[in-house]
Structure 1
Amino acid sequence: MATSLGLKKPMIAITGSAGKSTTKEMLAAILRRKWKVFKTPANHNLYSHTRNYAKQLKRGSYRAAVLEYGLSAKGHIRLHCQAIRPDISIVTNIGTAHLGSFGGDIKKLIRAKSEIIRYMSPSGMAVYNIDDANSRAMPKGNFRGTLVTVGIQSAKADYRAQNISYGKGGMNFSVKIDGTSQRFFIPIYGRHQVYNGLCAIAVASRLGFTPAEIRAGLRNYTRMQSRLTVRRVPSGALVIDDTYSANPNAAKAAIDVLSAIGGKNKVAVLGNMLSLGQYTKIGHRGVGSYIAKKRVTYLYTYGKYAYQIGSSAVAAGFNSNHWRHFTSRPALHQSLRKHLQQGTTFLVKGSHATNMKQTVLYLVRSKK
């Protein structure tokens, strides 16, 4: 627990292809039940930001820091660690985000992400997702501290979520802590979000926080905007706004949420996924094949690369009459109008630069 870690002022750093900001907010909300905590503002996670945070931490009377370490190239995580050396690290997962910056080579991306373990305090604690093969493959360098695993599928996970269910406004799940099963709720949809909750639970538990304190923090954490935010619009339809960013793994996870909570008509509106480099075509096609296996009623794609999502979905068996592709946003919006009714759920997703938020705003403001 806290004394076994021997940390008077833990510096906690989080990296990963997805879930950094959500995990940070979850963990910070728990720690703030008792402590004054510094956290990365919004998703300002460049190493230049971390250098500035180091100065703020020296001036402030913080009990702990929860930081995001972002990267877009090899060596970026090392620069973060040189600015603020973590005692505790979390790797949420290693997927397809920023894969284009590494020439489509997943092994290079894995090694770049592993810098958080190789350059943190060698006697600290590193948390990672044991269900994720890429995270398991990370080289550990000279790290001789404590490795803590989270998971859903693997029985070997130190913190394993079981009895997972969709509830009103979020996910319910159980985790054994010190041999006793504890029930938790996170106010966000998605089985993949449970992994983020597990990472926060693992660290907070090891720092001595009680299950009751962890429960309260998770239930009240600050939600990030446009990350699986569900809104009911004037027409009676639901809109799942997941427009902050996109990569193939995150797109598939969002489609799972649409399938799970959507009404009679489930409409996926998907824009380009950027920064994939050589993986662009394969990544978009993979999302299309995935859609064909899910309970999606209509598919709308927007942008040059997103065409591959639709064509791949149809090739995998999706009804071709239920797919439409657009390169004009006004035309897309006009076509979506006919679905603005009770019983329809829209999922809107795309890379930030694709500006799919405009489509969300259109749906929210439209009465029919």
Structure 2
Amino acid sequence: MISTSLSHLADVLGGRLVVHGGDTPDTLVSGLVDTDSRLIEPGGIFVAKPGETTDGHLFVGTAIQQGAALAIVERELDERVSQIVVPDSVAALSALARDVVARVRAEGRLKIVGITGSNGKTTTKNLLARILEDDGVTVAPRASFNNEVGAPLTMLRITDATRYLVSEFGASAPGAIAHLAGLVTPDIGVVLMVGMAHAGGFGGIESTFHAKSELVRATREGGLAVLNADDPRVAAMEPLARERGQGVRWFGRGERAEVRAVDVEVSASGTRADLLVDGQEYTLTLRVLGEHHVMNALAAIAAATALGVPAADAIARLETVEIAERWRMQPLGSERVRIINDAYNASPDSMAAALRTLAQITGPHERTVAVLGAMSELGEYADEEHDRVGLLAVRLRIQRIVVIGPEARRMYLEAIAQGSWDGEAVFFPDADAAYDYLATELRDGDRVLVKSSNSAGLRHLGDRLGELFA
């Protein structure tokens, strides 16, 4: 974080300053900000956040041992560290991020890109950050830091030397993206797709559209909206952009897109695509598995070239990326038994894309195995969407369908109903039981997809299988 006096911080946060030791209101702090006391470094700022299962105030002592210079708290504590007492520590985190970003931006060098979408946010964020980091100091979220805590923590990592801030915005509820993007007012807003992810929390696909469009509304006037030309709901955001005087830059597979993939070939080693970028021809060889990641790459190229990065440079940098993120189409195991661990997140769209990738990369003498868990946050649509996944797995001729957990059982029942009645589909109540089965069932030539939402916990099963067949 940029250097800031304790008194300024107290004013920004609307809090009461309690100094300790040799500190005064003019004492400067500039360390990293975090809500995890274990990650605090000397000079850092610890935000004591109440949680569902514990309370950050219990760990202020640990933060002090780690070297914290300041604690942002909701009640004054008898601890040997300066404190700013605020009504709401999470709201204070947002206020601090807004102030820091505005002060760095006022110097004129910082460019901000915001990314949202039902799927692909983290992959696109990582791809864009890889492109930009060769041009200047780039700050981007760790993992999926895209909520009311993670997004501000990322913003607070910027310094006076930062040239690019790439922010990922998730939507836990209507208004969430508007709030987070409003902290930084991006120069470029990237909208990837509007799908069924989180539809249960929003009340349907149209409500999801309105939530995702909040990023366009929050992008600065005269900025740029980078939109998916192939998704009708994303394309329908164009008038919102025009109302704010924003330019629109399209990416996709269709002729409307200025950044376009015209031919795509998928293999077990990655994806090759012929591209047109503003009328110029290029070839992209992406090592990240899955045809669907081509769209994420197109979005990253569209944003990067809008920031002045030559298309050839952007493509060359993308070709150095080996995986999008841990637990996202992550190749594990060996050539003998290849495990694809994609169990950090799942929605109907990403589940379908992963299953299609499994079918595409499996050779004629190899066997497809799909290890599937529940998709979360679908609400009233959960039964129907889990049925669709079971049906799709059968239609793609997945040769072994392993369904895990009661929340995912309908995938198994639908697979059985659609023709997988001769042992092709099996069900297990938990990951341990499935591991015992797979440890003896998997054989040379198997290509295994492990796919579920994070809450199902199958990412750890994928890791175990990867180690077993390494």
Residue 331 of structure 1: CA displacement? 2.6
TM-score, structure 1 as length reference: 0.91
Instruction: Report the equivalent of 1:261.
Output: 361
Indicate whether 1:29 and 2:130 are aligned.
Answer: yes
TM superposition shift of 1:206: 1.9
The structure 1 segments of at least 4 consecutive aligned residues displaced by more than 6 Å after TM superposition are: none
Looking at structure 1, the residues matched to 147 and 273 of structure 2 have their Cα atoms a distance apart, in angstroms, of 33
Change (3 A) 1:50 1:344: closer
Structure 1 CA distance for aligned equivalents of residues 117 and 469 of structure 2: 39
Please state whether the residue corresponding to 1:359 is helix, strand or coil: helix
Structure 2 CA distance for aligned equivalents of residues 342 and 280 of structure 1 = 35
Which residue of the partner structure matches residue 172 of structure 2? 72
Q: CA deviation at 1:168?
A: 5.8
Distance 1:338 1:355 in 2: 21
Report whether the alignment pairs 1:111 with 2:210.
yes
Q: Match of 1:225, as an amino acid?
A: R
Distance 1:220 1:279 in 2: 39
Check if 1:155 corresponds to 2:255: yes
1:211, distance to aligned residue in structure 2 (A): 2.7
Kindly state the Cα deviation for residue 166 of structure 1 after the two structures are TM-superposed: 2.0
**Structure 2 letter corresponding to 1:226:** W
Match of 1:126 in 2: 225
Give 2:392's aligned amino acid.
Y
Partner of 1:360: 462
Equivalence for 1:10: 111
Cα offsets for 1:232-265 (capped at 9, x unmatched): 249x211111111111111111101110112521
Matching residue within 39, 43, 49 for 2:150: 49
Aligned length: 358
Deviation at 1:291, TM superposition (A): 1.2
Residue 90 of structure 1: SS of its match in structure 2?
Answer: strand
Moved more, 33-42 or 77-86: 33-42
The residue number in structure 2 matching 1:38 is: 139
What residue number does 1:219 align with?
319
Distance 1:25 1:361, change over 3 A: closer
What one-letter code is carried by the residue in structure 1 that aligns with 2:276?
Answer: K
CA apart distance, 1:216: 2.2
Q: Which has the higher contact order (CA 8 A, sep 6+)?
A: 1
Unaligned runs of 5+ residues in structure 1 are: 1-6
Distance 1:206 1:326 in 2: 49
1:3 paired residue number: none
Report the 3-state secondary structure (helix = DSSP H, G, I; strand = E; otherwise coil) of the residue aligned with 1:253: helix
Query: 1:203-352 counterparts in 2 under 5 A?
Result: 203-221=303-321, 223-233=324-334, 236-263=336-363, 264-352=366-454
> Is the counterpart of residue 181 in structure 1 residue 281 in structure 2?
yes
Match of 1:171 in 2: 271
What CA deviation, in whole Å up to 9, does each residue of 1:12-61 have, x standing for no partner?
Answer: 0001111111111111111122211111222111133333444443x331
The aligned amino acid for 2:468 is: S
Counterpart of 2:457, as a letter, is N
Change (3 A) 1:344 1:114: same
State the alpha-carbon separation in 2 of the partners of residues 287 and 300 from structure 1: 12
CA spacing shift, 1:333–1:53, aligned 2, 3 Å: closer
Give me the whole-angstrom Cα distance separating, in 1, the residues matched to 2:207 and 2:128: 29
CA deviation string 1:300-335 (max 9, x = no partner): 101112111122223333444311111143332222
Q: Which of 124, 140, 144 in structure 1 is aligned with 2:245?
A: 144
Report the structure number with the largest CA radius of gyration: 2
What amino acid sits opposite 1:42 in the alignment? A
In structure 2, how many angstroms separate the alpha carbons of the residues matched to 1:149 and 1:178? 10
Instruction: Measure the CA separation in 2 of the matches of 1:365 and 1:145.
Output: 49
Report the aligned-residue RMSD. 2.1
Report if aligned partners of 1:268, 1:347 keep a CA contact under 8 Å in 2.
Answer: yes
Query: Is the contact between residue 145 and residue 154 of structure 2 (CA under 8 Å) also seen in structure 1?
Result: no
Identity of aligned residues (%): 30
**In structure 2, do the counterparts of structure 1 residues 168 and 341 end up closer, same or farther at CA, with 3 Å as the change threshold?**
closer
- Cα deviation for residue 82 of structure 1 reads 2.1
d(CA) in 2 for partners of 1:280 and 1:14? 26
Q: What TM-score does the superposition give when structure 2 sets the normalisation length?
A: 0.72
TM-aligned CA deviation for residue 169 of structure 1: 2.4
Segment of structure 1 superposing worse, 31-40 or 79-88? 31-40
Residues 50 and 83 in structure 1, CA contact (< 8 A), matched pair in contact too: no
Match of 2:194 in 1: 94
Bigger shift: residues 16-25 or 158-167 = 158-167
Q: Per-residue deviation at 1:203? A: 1.3
CA contact 2:252–2:260 (8 Å) conserved in 1: yes
What is the alpha-carbon distance in structure 1 between the residues aligned to residue 344 and residue 431 of structure 2?
18
